[in-house]
Amino acid sequence: MDTRRVVVTGLGMLTPVGIGVDETWGALCAGESGIGAITRFDAADFDCRIAGEVKGFNPLDFIPKKEVKKMDTFIHYALAASIMAVEDAGLKVSPKEADRVGVVVGAGIGGLPAIEKYHEKLLASGPRKITPFFIPMLIVNLAPGQISMRFGFKGPNYSIVTACATGNHSIGEAYRCIQRNDADVMVAGGTESVISSLAVGGFAAMKALSTRNDEPKKASRPFDAGRDGFVIGEGAGIMILEELEHARARGAKIYAEIAGFGMSADAYHLSSPDPTGEGAKKSMLSCLADAHVAPCEVDYVNAHGTSTPFGDKHETTALKAVFAEHAYKLKISSTKSMTGHLLGAAGGVEAVVCVLTINKGIVTPTINYEQADPDCDLDYVPNKAIKMPVKTALSNSFGFGGTNASLLFKQLEE
């Protein structure tokens, strides 16, 4: 049996630089930073006081008022981005077709702000102050659950939780669902909203966060010699994946084909990547093999590029191991230089960026690249977007625990 081909027919995202695909894409192409002082809580006593917060989002623009209170913010974001993607795809599903449409949307952490809020209520006023919606607010699989209920999608419905690789794993698994004929259409991606005292305090205790508090817009600086940690961000990135002939039959616009998915584990450390880059290398090679694409055919890599001293260095090592001399011809950039690190949503947003890069022929920059690091000596598209034809784009996401996931998108070919 021929392998079922899978294409991208709808996109939705909200990030620290914009609400919606057009606003976010415009800001990314312009090299705008969405990083600023934390407003979600009083961070005066914290080592890190900056974050990439989503600005101007009103859940009532997407969700009925009586439903909003049943969800924590990460679900609001997932539902909003899914509504954008479904509308963009022009997807209309009859009850007869509902079993063939599924949802795989994950989050790295989920409803931590709800846990903080209701723990405070419990201590202050006792258990009767806990809302009956508390558990459905915080568990990760209520993001795809709420999406399926909104649209009546009755196909595969689940979440993947793999820290910062969540978005890529979710899209990859949705792609596999369609390939193995479990569904014809999948809503897939990642979401996250944990700019809270516990999350920021926890990451800061690990010394993982940038403390460039006086220059927030310059704090996230992947591959730059002055990088000192990641900047926590939030948002959601969702795409509609569809079996190629199904998409053609309904006259859907097709952004790109998803052609490869690779995974691996470092089996090395709780939070640090393997310094040899072996796990990341295996993830990328597996993805390329799945897509039947040679390393020399890749035009662009959206790097994991978190702005951590070791992470960026070891990802560069892995890229050189996979691409050899072609590594120096690749265009490589990190969206996180502008959005911060969206944790479980990062892969979803960056996959959308890869698809737009192919569709629009523009490579978004890595901003704040000011001082070259001899360990990071590739072309990271410093500070300004470039126009060029991109036929093939690879997206990397690597998570705590050494979990790695890579996706390969390409221009649709007959």
The answer to whether residue 164 is catalytic is yes
Phi, psi at residue 190, to the nearest 5°? -140, 160
Q: Is residue 256 part of a domain?
A: no
**Containing structural domain, residue 110:** 7-249
Residues 187 and 269 in one domain: no
Report how far residue 205's alpha carbon sits from residue 207's, in angstroms, rounded to the nearest whole number. Answer: 5
- Reply yes or no on whether 341 is catalytic: yes
The reply to whether 235 and 296 lie within a common domain is no
Domain assignment present for 1? no
Does residue 25 fall inside a structural domain? yes
Final residue in a domain of this structure, among 249, 276, 301: 249
For the stretch 114-134, what's the b/e string if a residue is b when 16 or more beta carbons lie within 10 angstroms of its beta carbon? bbbbbeebeeeeeeeeeeebb
371 and 225 housed in the same domain: no
| 317 and 359 share one domain | yes
50/195 same-domain check: yes
**pLDDT values of the chain reduced to their tens digit, one per residue, 414 residues:** 578 999 999 999 999 999 999 999 999 999 999 999 999 999 999 999 999 999 999 999 999 999 999 999 999 999 999 999 999 999 999 999 999 999 999 999 999 999 999 999 999 999 999 999 999 999 999 999 999 999 999 999 999 999 999 999 999 999 999 999 999 999 999 999 999 999 999 999 999 999 999 999 999 999 999 999 999 999 999 999 999 999 999 999 999 999 999 999 999 998 888 899 999 999 999 999 999 999 999 999 999 999 999 999 999 999 999 999 999 999 999 999 999 999 999 999 999 999 999 999 999 999 999 999 999 999 999 999 999 999 999 999 999 999 999 999 999 987
Instruction: Say whether both 124 and 161 belong to one domain.
Output: yes
Structure confidence at residue 98 (pLDDT)? 98
Together in a domain, 280 and 197 = no
Active site residue 29: no
Q: Cα–Cα–Cα angle for 98, 101, 103, nearest 5°? A: 125
Q: In terms of domains, do 182 and 306 share one? A: no
**Phi, psi values for residue 220, rounded to 5°:** -90, 110
Q: CA–CA separation, 55 vs 215, rounded Å?
A: 19
The one catalytic residue in 314, 341, 354, 376 is: 341
Instruction: Assess whether 339 and 318 both reside in one domain.
Output: yes
In a domain, 257, yes or no: no
In a domain, residue 269? The reply is: yes
Q: Which of 249, 281, 311 is the last residue of a domain?
A: 249
47 phi and psi, to 5 degrees?
-65, -40
Q: 3-state secondary structure string, the chain?
A: CCCCCEEEEEEEEEECCEECHHHHHHHHHCCCCCCEECCCCCCCCCCCCEEECCCCCCHHHCCCHHHHCCCCHHHHHHHHHHHHHHHHHCCCCCCCCHHHEEEEEECCCCCHHHHHHHHHHHHHHCHHHCCCCHHHHHCCCHHHHHHHHHHCCCCCEECCCCHHHHHHHHHHHHHHHHHCCCCCEEEEEEEECCCCHHHHHHHHHCCCECCCCCCHHHCCCCCCCCCCCECEECEEEEEEEEEHHHHHHCCCCCCEEEEEEEEEECCCCCCCCCCCCHHHHHHHHHHHHHHCCCHHHCCEEECCCCCCHHHHHHHHHHHHHHHHHHHHCCEEECCHHHHCECHHHHHHHHHHHHHHHHHHCEECCECCCCCCECCECCCCCECCCEECCCCEEEEEEEECCCEEEEEEEECCCC
Per-residue model confidence (pLDDT) at position 271: 84
Is 134 among the domain residues? yes
Same domain, 222 and 273: no
- Asked if 161 and 266 sit in the same domain, the reply is no
Q: How many domains does the chain have?
A: 2
Q: Which of 164, 177, 287, 354 is catalytic?
A: 164
Asked if residue 255 is part of any domain, the answer here is: no
Q: What is the pLDDT of residue 41?
A: 97
Please report whether residue 81 resides in a domain. Answer: yes
Torsion from C-alpha of 60, 34, 340, 295, nearest 10 degrees: 100
| Domain final residue pick, 188, 218, 249 | 249
The pLDDT of residue 205? 96
Q: 107 in the Ramachandran plot: left (φ > 0), alpha (ψ -120 to 50) or beta?
A: beta
Contacts of 249 (CB under 8 A, 6+ apart): none
| From 169, 304, 314, 376, active-site residue | 304
Q: What is the pLDDT, as a whole number, of residue 272?
A: 85
Assess whether 297 and 242 both reside in one domain: no
The domain that holds 228 is classified in CATH as: 3.40.47.10
